[in-house]
A and B are shown apart, each in its own frame.
Chain A
Amino acid sequence: AQSVTQLDSHVSVSEGTPVLLRCNYSSSYSPSLFWYVQHPNKGLQLLLKYTSAATLVKGINGFEAEFKKSETSFHLTKPSAHMSDAAEYFCVVSPYNQGGKLIFGQGTELSVKP
Chain B
Amino acid sequence: DGGITQSPKYLFRKEGQNVTLSCEQNLNHDAMYWYRQDPGQGLRLIYYSQIVNDFQKGDIAEGYSVSREKKESFPLTVTSAQKNPTAFYLCASSIARGDRNEAFFGQGTRLTVV
User: What residues make up the interface of A, taking CB atoms closer than 8 Å to B?
Assistant: 9, 32, 34, 36, 41-46, 49, 51-52, 90, 94, 99-102, 104-107
Indicate if the CB atoms of B110 and A41 lie closer than 8 Å.
yes
Which residues of B are found within 8 Å of A49, using beta-carbon distances?
102
Indicate if the CB atoms of A41 and B99 lie closer than 8 Å.
no
Tell which of B88, B95, B99 has the most Cβ of chain A within 10 Å. Answer: B99
Query: Which one, B58, B90, B101, B107, contacts A100 given CB within 8 A?
Result: B101
Which residues of A are found within 8 Å of B96, using beta-carbon distances?
99-100
Q: Which residues between 76 and 114 of chain B lie within 8 Å of chain A, taking CB atoms?
A: 88, 90, 92, 94-96, 99, 101-108, 110
Interface of A (DSSP majority class):
loop
Cα A102 to Cα B58 with chains together (Å): 11
Query: Which one, B40, B101, B105, contacts A44 given CB within 8 A?
Result: B105
Indicate if the CB atoms of A43 and B90 lie closer than 8 Å.
yes
